[in-house]
Amino acid sequence: MVSSITRTQSSISEGYVAKSQGLTTEIASSFALNLISLPTTALFGTDGIRGKVGELLNAPLALQIGFWTGIVLRDHAAQNGPVILGQDSRNSSDMLAMALSAGLTAAGLEVWYLGLCPTPCVAYLTSITDAIGGVMISASHNPPEDNGIKIFGAGGGKLSKGLQAEIEAGLRGKVAPVVGVSNCGRHYSRAELIADYGQALQKPLHPQVNFQGMKIVLDLAWGAAVGLAPSVFTQMGADVICLHNQADGDRINVNCGSTDLDILAAAVKEYHADMGFAFDGDADRVLAVDNTGRQVNGDYILYLWGRHLQAQQQLPDNLIISTVMANLGFEKAWQKQGGKMIRTAVGDQYVQAEMLKTGGMLGGEQSGHILCRHYGITGDGLLTALHLAAVVQAAGISLGEMVDQSFQTYPQLLQNVRVEDREQRLGWENCEPVQRAIAQAEAAMGDSGRILVRASGTEPVIRVMVEAADSELVNYWTKELVAQVQEHIA
């Protein structure tokens, strides 16, 4: 462990509070009685608590989330320790960070505040220190007006559903905090720890890998990776060209980053680069562009990295964990290579859970959340980009050639239907006209295609995905299903 991660003497003497300690009656009552209006549906989605700032997410709610998160983390901690707090560049992130820190310190905890950093940085530092948890403020790939709160457990993994339920019970006034000795926590700025994460990303690649002679374009989406990603790739020897590389809360994810690869693709071709990488707002996922400007999604990243690990005999049972969104072309090609694929529900937490259950070492999503347990504990866009570049370098051919030699995707169309009403959106499965349309589409396509309709856990949309060998069927049934959702749910 590097020296900068050790606790200061003042933090040891002033910050921590034992499990048996609680809050004064006055502080406890203020949190227990200061209830705010909450939706009847669950607050925690597939990636924490997320919503539009000023509506669901505001400072009073963040204050209470911080407090109840602190109470729950403290009560389940094996030992005393800090909570690590980071944020992305959204205009609302400062406000939410200060409110969360106030709640955590009111619960008697010490907060190590990193400031602007990628989500995986919070997870990593939580995992290697004596922190009892971590919190990241970000809405990932969502537009600037949204924000979110992601909570990690002591090991750096996503907080379990059981502990999420305990936090939510506190927020809804169903649990009273233990009243005991008053002890206020402390807040410390620890931005220097981000460099330790950057070094940890590079360590597994040294000394064998050096990107000297490679030209790589990075689209940083005006987000959390603007400070770290360019320096890491430069330190690895690459000639780096950066796009959208300032922290800008007004423009984060707007027509850039992993949700819009057009500018990146044009830049790769303009600069005759070897490849490009597009991160989302908090850099926990990445998509690539090959040397011809062609988009390379998570399915291709998993296939190419999987083949590399397979050749190195580092992929137990030749197993890849993906989701129901993974393309059939990817699955069939992987099976031809002697591989096995297990699909989960959409969400990297489900991928991670299945990896832990099966012993799988590689998994991820088409959208660019990639997890490799050889090197990390959570989805990490920077880690994935570094290793994909290393895979290309080791192959001795271009990324475009590697993609050409991999697989052909089945035609797949994904459309989002915006549904602002949260309860209407999450209860879409109760809509009989939509269910009838899905049944008709499935009967018409038979074994030659598949349909996936689901409410997003991160955005106010219902996603409609149709995949089939025949593109005409894909277009027809996507249009039909979207029309039904718009008419009966939106």
313 in the Ramachandran plot: left (φ > 0), alpha (ψ -120 to 50) or beta?
A: left
Averaged pLDDT for residues 73-79? 93
Phi, psi dihedral angles at 229 (to 5 degrees):
-60, -50
Q: Which of 89, 140, 322, 456 is catalytic?
A: 140
Q: Are 48 and 207 in contact (CB under 8 A)?
A: no
Percent of the chain with pLDDT over 70: 92
**pLDDT above 70 for 206:** yes
pLDDT at 34 over 60: no
Of 75-89, 128-142, 176-190, which range is least confident? 176-190
Average pLDDT on 56-79 reads: 94
Say if residues 417 and 478 touch (Cβ distance below 8 Å): no
235 CB contacts (<8 Å, ≥6 apart)? 198, 202
The yes-or-no verdict on residue 88 having pLDDT over 50 is: yes
Position 7 confidence tier, pLDDT thresholds 50, 70, 90: very low
User: Is residue 26 predicted with pLDDT exceeding 70?
Assistant: no
Instruction: Please state, in angstroms and rounded to a whole number, the distance separating the CA atoms of residues 174 and 331.
Output: 45
Tell me what the mean pLDDT of segment 144-170 comes to: 95
Given this model, what pLDDT does residue 456 score?
A: 87
448 catalytic, yes or no? no
Tokens coding 407: 């697989």
For residues 285, 291, 297 and 300, what is the CA-based torsion angle, rounded to 10 degrees? -110
Instruction: List the strands of the sheet with 295-296, edge to edge.
Output: 239-243, 215-219, 275-279, 286-289, 295-296
Rg (the chain; Cα; Å): 23
> What average pLDDT does this structure show over 432-445?
93
User: Is the alpha carbon torsion for 346, 349, 352, 354 positive or negative?
Assistant: negative
pLDDT of residue 243: 98
Work out the average pLDDT over 333-346. Answer: 95
Query: Which of 100-104, 107-111, 172-176 bottoms out in mean pLDDT, i.e. has the lowest?
Result: 172-176
- The pLDDT value recorded for residue 459 is 84
d(CA 383, CA 233) in angstroms, rounded, equals 11
* Closest of 293, 299, 285, 232 to residue 257, by C-alpha: 285
Question: Angle at CA 122, nearest 5°, toward 37 and 296?
Answer: 100
406 band by pLDDT with thresholds 50, 70 and 90: very high
Q: What pLDDT does 1 receive?
A: 39
pLDDT confidence of residue 86? 98
Q: Is 323 helix (H, G, I), strand (E, B) or coil?
A: strand
* In contact, 268 and 293? CB cutoff 8 Å: yes
Read off the pLDDT of residues 342-376 as tens digits, 9 standing for 90 and up.
Answer: 999 988 889 999 999 999 999 999 999 999 999 99
Average pLDDT over residues 382-403: 98
Burial 474-483 (b: 16+ CB within 10 A, else e): bebbbebbbe
Q: What is the pTM of this model?
A: 0.86
Q: In what order do the strands lie in the sheet with 461-468?
A: 412-418, 461-468, 449-455
Cβ neighbors of 147 (< 8 A, separation 6 or more) are 50, 51, 53, 57, 90, 92, 93, 96, 137, 138, 139
**Rounded CA gap, 415 and 435, in Å?**
17
Provide the mean pLDDT of the chain: 90
Residue 277 predicted with pLDDT over 60 = yes
When pLDDT is averaged across residues 171-196 and rounded to a whole number, the result is 83
Mean pLDDT of 37-58: 90
The stretch 432-441 carries a mean pLDDT of: 95
Amino acid at 346: V
Q: How many helices (H) and strands (E) does the chain have?
A: 17, 19
Residue 488: pLDDT over 50: yes
The residues, ordered by sequence, that sit 6+ positions from 258 with a Cβ below 8 Å of its Cβ are 141, 221, 278, 279, 280, 285, 286, 287, 367, 368, 381
CA distances from 282 to 247, 298, 343, 423 (A): 11, 17, 25, 27
Side by side, the strands of the sheet bearing 370-372 are 340-344, 319-323, 362-364, 370-372
Task: Please list the residues that pair with 48 across neighbouring strands.
Answer: 45
Q: In what order do the strands lie in the sheet with 83-87?
A: 44-45, 48-52, 146-152, 133-137, 83-87, 111-116, 187-189
Q: Are 216 and 229 in contact (CB under 8 A)?
A: no
Strands 215-219 and 275-279: parallel
Assess contact for 312 and 391: CB atoms under 8 A. Answer: no
Residue 21 confidence class, pLDDT cut points 50, 70, 90: very low
